[in-house]
Structure 1
Amino acid sequence: MTKTPTKRQRYTPPSGNAICYSGYRRHQSPQDESFPSYEEIAEDLSILVSQWQFLRLYDCSLHAKRVLDVIKTEQLPLQVMLGANMRAEHSNPSCPWDANFTEAQLLHNREANAQEIEDMIALAKAHPTTVFSVSVGNEASVEWSDHQVSVEQLILYVRRIKAEIQQPVTFCENYVPWSDKLAPLVAELDFISLHTYPVWEYKAIDIALDYTKDNYYTVAERYPDIPVVITEAGWATASNGRGIETWNASQDLQAIYYKALMEWTRDADILTFVFEAFDEPWKGSSEELEPEKHWGLFTVDRQPKLVMQEIFAHLIPT
């Protein structure tokens, strides 16, 4: 039987610049657990700390542990939203790519998810001033996800976390499931974390910000008693045409969208994690122009793209 959630004080998200951070470089990948070193992460954070106060991490792997260690050891003024990497707990025939699993695989995934939650709890306890919030998962309920977890199970994970730590708990998801499917989960959360990507939905730059605003306010107005933050919003700088038209992905368009997004969210006091700090060549297909690889404000070689070149001119080789 589902318990009625206890009454809690309304959480107020902090204000400041926020960015999603995945530090994997060329020939590194979470898929084969080839993680960035302490020194590589320290180099990244020395770049980011000048402009951003909040980082979002996606899992509780060695990557996350090293990020938290760097922040502590180097005494960096950064706070972290710590995420849990959820694996599929059931198959999903609606996923456009392969999301069919054997019962043995699903059992293994459930065990891994339970351990991920315990690892999250341990890291949040070990870094109580750096980890300012935790997320119980990422895009694990949207229709096309290849790692779906039921709403009922997400609720149980949230309750497990809240029984152990004091940090506020959220769930990071595309804007669509928040409108209805995730309503039971909302009652358990301290705030909603929303993803919005106009370019993935074939929107041109002239209507992109209005589309983002509509995504956001549709959810915020649906749940007026709980804060809504944006945990992913950005613009791809290259595409092979898979899901994003080639003409609609460029550094010029990224710069336009970023400027508009930042102006709106600062004026509206909406905590917004820009996606993504650095390009991620390990993602998606092997094609060089696979759009999944090209969302960074910086290249994989840590060079500023157009959107960041004025601020980080000192990083550009002369």
Structure 2
Amino acid sequence: MNKLICIILLLFISCNQINTRNLVSKEMTAEKLLGNINYQAICYGGYRTQTRDIIPTVTELKEDMLILSAMNIKVIRTYNVHHNEIINLLKAISELKETDTNFEMYVMLGAWIDCKNAWTKENPIHDQESDRNAIEIDEAVRLANKYPTIIKVIAVGNEAMVKWATSYYVTPNIILKWVNYLQDLKKHGKLSKELWITSSDNFASWGGGDSEYHLEDLNKLIKAVDYISIHTYPMHDTHYNPVFWGIKENELQLKEKEKIDFAMLRARDYAISQYTSVVNYMKSIGVNKPVHIGETGWATLCNELYGKLGSKATDEYKAAQYYNLMRDWTNKIGISCFYFEAFDESWKDSANPSGSENHFGLINLQAQAKYMLWNAIDKGTFKGLTRNGKPITKTYNGDEKALWLDVKTPNKVLKN
């Protein structure tokens, strides 16, 4: 009889623990996640081949989620719902949560937004939208309602307003339309009131750059979103706007590593200045709400503008410096940084395997952790974990001298 009572008591306690964990999961909100140092964020795509026609399986996506979780990454950002990767990803996270009630992974779900005639032979019409947009938004709503304990943010568009995205950008009124639509669903109980709505875009698109973006529709959008998600890419500006990129006159006598370290500090400060410019613009129109970094990153290889024949920006040492500097800064001031990106993806520039877009990941397609994660390997962070059946090992076989053979010092001299 006593044994039976003990068994019943243990079952009662166990059920209560499960219910408590589920309650905690349900109560975790975007407001609590974003800026929380215990919930690091990253941009994620799990494609392993040179085409998005080959969708990662649930098993493959589980591998990735366990790797990221081991790194204390618990919030991931996706980009669209058109491809079935997101369906498999949400299944993978759900199954991991069922297996381990302590497992946590949350999603900033992207709904891709295009203008009319985007990606066609016709001229894009930037103040009219693609018919596909409504389908993206409807599917984002469906998924957010189906997976409320996982999806905590919907981002309307990705770099959808910045004018250098000439193939597809839209005017701010189109983003505003869909943000208002989602906010209205929240008001009427058709989406969780705790779900945050944003758009993730270049810092200039949020008013932090040229005054041509300072439109009334942008001001309305800033007031409509729950928070602002900005992109900043100093790496790209080592070519396009290299005011910060080079070696100062008073640094010329330093060792090569020291020269590069100072250059990377200036790259971080450049990113900070872009973040600050958005905050300042937001406040100038009487708004004060959270601003987080929706994307920033540094490629490790490039055979064009940013590589050895260009600005000499891309290698694993500089990428590691930038990663650590940005994590340290964003953690210190209490904002999220969705670092771009978790794993290399080769579909992004399939015609050019050495193109920078294929090499922004922290881990490459051979399951090798790049230099910024070598310490994590040494600590046993990835022990027992695999990607495509391969254990996570170090690039360059862990030989730092070999790595440094690929590190080049910028040759531009900056005035003090």
Q: In structure 2, what is the Cα distance between the partners aligned to 1:272 and 1:305?
A: 19
1:173 to 183, 198, 201: 201
Question: Equivalent of 2:168, from 141, 144, 147?
Answer: 147
Deviations 1:271-293 (A, max 9, x none): 11110001111112512211111
CA deviation after TM superposition for structure 1 residue 242, in Å:
3.1
Number of aligned residues: 298
Shift of 1:101: 2.4
Any unmatched runs of 5+ in structure 1? Answer: 1-9, 92-97
- What CA deviation, in whole Å up to 9, does each residue of 1:250-307 have, x standing for no partner? 0000111111111111110011111000111111251221111110001022221111
Report whether the alignment pairs 1:22 with 2:48: no
Larger radius of gyration: 2
Q: Are 1:174 and 1:194, in contact at CA under 8 Å, matched by a contact in 2?
A: yes
**Cα distance between partner residues in 1 of 2:311 and 2:356:** 9
CA drift of 1:102 comes to 5.5
Pick from 107, 110, 116 the counterpart of residue 80 of structure 1: 107
- Which residue of 295, 309, 314 maps to 2:374? 309
TM-score by length of 2: 0.67
Matched, 1:222 2:281: yes
**Greater Cα shift, 82-91 or 147-156:** 82-91
> Is 1:119 paired with 2:155?
no
1:264 — aligned with what?
329
Tell me, yes or no, if structure 1 residue 283 matches structure 2 residue 348.
yes
**CA pair 198-309 structure 1, distance change in 2 beyond 3 A:** same
Q: 1:132 aligns with which of 143, 147, 152?
A: 152
Equivalent-residue separation in structure 1 for 2:367 and 2:161 (angstroms): 33
RMSD value over aligned CA atoms? 2.4
User: How far is 1:159 from its partner?
Assistant: 1.9
- Asked if the contact 1:11/1:227 (under 8 Å) is kept, the reply is no
Query: Could you tell me which residue of structure 2 aligns to residue 110 of structure 1?
Result: 130
Q: Which residue of 1 aligns with 2:90?
A: 68
Q: Which residue of 2 aligns with 1:240?
A: 303
Deviation at 1:77, TM superposition (A): 0.5
Alpha-carbon deviation of 1:69? 1.1
1:49-107 alpha-carbon deviations (Å, 9 max, x no partner): 1120110011113111111111111103011100012233366xxxxxx7762589x99
Residues 248/14 of structure 1: CA separation in 2 closer, same or farther (3 Å cut): closer
Helix, strand or coil: the match of 1:194?
strand
1:197/1:142 Cα in 2 relative to 1: closer, same or farther (>3 Å)? same
Q: TM-score, normalised by structure 1?
A: 0.87
The 8 Å contact of residues 89 and 150 in structure 1, kept in 2 or not, is answered as no
1:12-71, Cα deviation, whole Å (9 max, x unpaired): 634121000000002441xxx321111111111110111201100111131111111111
Is residue 120 of structure 2 the alignment partner of residue 55 of structure 1?
no
1:165 is aligned with what amino acid? L
Aligned to 1:94: none
Aligned equivalents of 2:223, 2:31: Cα separation in 1 = 13
Q: Do 1:238 and 1:246's aligned partners in 2 also have CA atoms closer than 8 Å?
A: no
Please tell me whether the aligned partners of residues 41 and 74 of structure 2 are also in contact (alpha carbons under 8 angstroms).
yes
Summarize the Cα distance change of 1:253–1:243 in structure 2 as closer, same or farther, 3 Å threshold: closer
Picking from 297, 304, 319, the partner of 1:254 is 319
Within-5 A mapping of 1:5-44: 13-15=34-36, 16-29=39-52, 33-44=53-64
CA contact (8 A) 1:53 1:79 kept: yes
Higher percent of residues as helix: 2
Q: How far 1:173 moved relative to its partner?
A: 0.4
Task: Provide the C-alpha distance between the structure 1 equivalents of 2:267 and 2:134, rounded to a whole number of angstroms.
Answer: 38
Q: Structure 2: any 5+ residue segments left out of the alignment?
A: 1-29, 98-102, 208-213, 239-244, 246-262, 384-391, 398-416
Cα deviation, 1:219-259, whole Å, max 9, x if unaligned, reads 11222412100011111101112356362100000111111
- Stretch deviating more after TM superposition (250-259 or 157-166): 157-166
Q: Secondary structure, in 3 states, of the residue corresponding to 1:312?
A: helix
- Conserved 8 A contact 2:124-2:168: no
Q: Which amino acid aligns with 1:193?
A: S
In structure 2, the partner of 1:188 is 224
1-structure distance, mates of 2:313, 2:124: 41
Q: Secondary structure of 1:226's match?
A: coil
Residue equivalent to 2:178: 157
In 1, the alpha carbon distance for the partners of 2:55 and 2:77 equals 17
Amino acid at match of 1:262: R
* Residue-by-residue CA offset, 1:158-186 (whole Å, 9 max, x unaligned): 12222132211000001011112432311
CA contact (8 A) 2:117 2:123 kept: no
